[in-house]
Structure 1
């Protein structure tokens, strides 16, 4: 019987550039090089970092979970 990787493990291995960008944000926040900002749409304080371009890991937009998910849903439709 083989152990099946978790969906997150599978995503991580299939998206190395995205993983590096996410790791950069976590590290920069922890080291004080990047400061979490309110959602650029609604001003909510609890936000996710969103990358429009994973080749630019330092360039993030701050979106609350609702607007982050909405943004990705709209991109999938396009």
Structure 2
């Protein structure tokens, strides 16, 4: 599970009544070895399967000929 720093600050306050600024918490987490992860941005109107439609797919003949050439060069 991934947490945003502001959510973690709120959780610390709710659980322990400990008020910590996001900057301070981020600094402490970095010192502990944690790194910020960010998701790859996506357009808000992007369809779920749209990316798969644009991926290049080689025809089966090209894949077969590459495999044949590779095995022939090994012999």
Comparing both chains, which one has the higher relative contact order based on Cα–Cα distances under 8 Å and sequence gaps of 6 or more? 1
* TM-score, normalising length: structure 1: 0.24
* TM-score, normalising length: structure 2: 0.24
Larger radius of gyration between Structure 1 and Structure 2: 2
Higher strand share: 1
Higher helix share: 2
